[in-house]
Structure 1
């Protein structure tokens, strides 16, 4: 029996669910995944980008209830610090938390214009100005971190909270065919080939398509 439960809304569409699940895997927490139905109000609000605060993913670990991705990250880091969810160096740790927080609280244009959809592929997708600005900032973040730490993850050999936060962006860049500089493209490809990501994507392939509003032409 799993020692914890993680409630998610969708593997195919929910970037927040993916982040929470990756954090649990990185921390070595054995979780049973509970998927909300498409008719659940909280699930639909998240998937249709109508909710300013998300109640999923929600982690239940003994008496602990945590339902915000950054709170889940902090809880898991405190629970198992040896997992290395944040860098050991104080300055690198501050940098990691800063760029993770920037993703947590920003890039609204990117989220609206390029919603996560693992099963879709679009060619010649038109990017409007707001999304282009967000992409440019993300590339700047990636290039700086990868240049300083050498990759393959943002802070070196081991994945951190920052990688979990930007992993759904990697899927968006694949879905919508977003061109990237060589170093950022290598990071995107490394994240997409990462074993936990491959496991999640395989599960998403078999997920029923319940949210019709998200299966749209762009």
Structure 2
């Protein structure tokens, strides 16, 4: 029996579930993923309202129950320090926390206009202005981190919390054919080829289509 349970919603649509799952895997936690059915109220709330603060994903680890992706990240850095979920050095740890928090709290236009859908491809998708400004800010964030640390991840050789936070954005950029500068495109492709991402995407492909009319609120 696994030592922990991560409660998630749709693998295909839920960016927050993906982030929580990546963090648990990066931490080396022994956990089972419990997938809520599409009609579950908490699952639909998380998907339709684009909030980072509903009760999924939720990590149950012994007596501890922790939800909200950044809370899960903080918990895992405490109980699995050997996983090195934050980069070395005060400056880089602070930088990583800042851009992770920016992803957690912002980019509402991007989330609304380009909802996560791993199975879809929209080659001719037109990005409206509000979302375009969010994309420009993400490009700025990625370019600064990649230039400072040399890639292939944002803070160097190994993925950290910030990469888990931006991984769903990489998938959105693929789904909607968003053009990126060379360094950012290389980062996007590296994340999409990350073994953990490939595992999640394969599971999403096998997920039954139980959630209807998601796009009406995005």
TM-score past 0.5 threshold: yes
2:22 corresponds in structure 1 to 22
Hey, what's the Cα distance between the residues in 2 that align with 1:166 and 1:206? 23
Does 1:99 find its partner at 2:99? yes
Are the counterparts in 2 of residues 59 and 72 from structure 1 also a CA contact under 8 Å?
Answer: yes
- The aligned residue for residue 167 of structure 1 is 167
Partner of 1:157: 157
Residues 144 and 51 (structure 1 numbering): CA distance in 2 closer, same or farther, change over 3 Å?
closer
For each residue in 1:57-104, what CA deviation from the matched residue of structure 2 results, as whole angstroms up to 9, or x when unmatched?
A: 000000110011000000000001111100120110000000000000
Please show how residues 12-161 of structure 1 align to structure 2 within 5 Å. Answer: 12-49=12-49, 51=51, 53-161=53-161
> In structure 2, what is the Cα distance between the partners aligned to 1:52 and 1:82?
26
1:185-204 to structure 2, matched below 5 A, reads 185-204=185-204
Any runs of at least 4 consecutive aligned residues in structure 1 with deviations exceeding 4 A, and if so which? none
Q: 1:31 to 1:123 in 2, by over 3 A?
A: same
1:210: how far off?
Answer: 1.3
Gaps of 5+ in 2: none
**Distance of 2:52 and 2:147 partners within structure 1:** 34
Whether contact under 8 Å (1:22, 1:164) holds in the other structure is: yes
Distance 1:147 1:51 in 2: 31
Please tell me the root mean square deviation across aligned C-alpha atoms, in Å: 1.3
Separation in 2, partners of 1:109, 1:50:
11
What is the CA–CA distance in structure 1 between the aligned matches of 2:64 and 2:203, rounded to whole Å? 27
Given the two structures, how large is their TM-score scaled by the length of structure 1?
Answer: 0.97
Contact 1:11/1:18 (8 A) holds in 2: yes
In the alignment of these two chains, the number of paired residues is: 217
Q: CA 1:51/1:80 → structure 2, altered by over 3 Å: closer, same or farther?
A: closer
Partners of 1:49 and 1:112 within 8 A in 2: no
- Aligned to 1:78, what secondary structure does the other structure show? helix
1:171-205 Cα distance to aligned partner (Å, 9 max, x none): 00000000000000000000000000000000000
Distance 1:75 1:120 in 2: 33
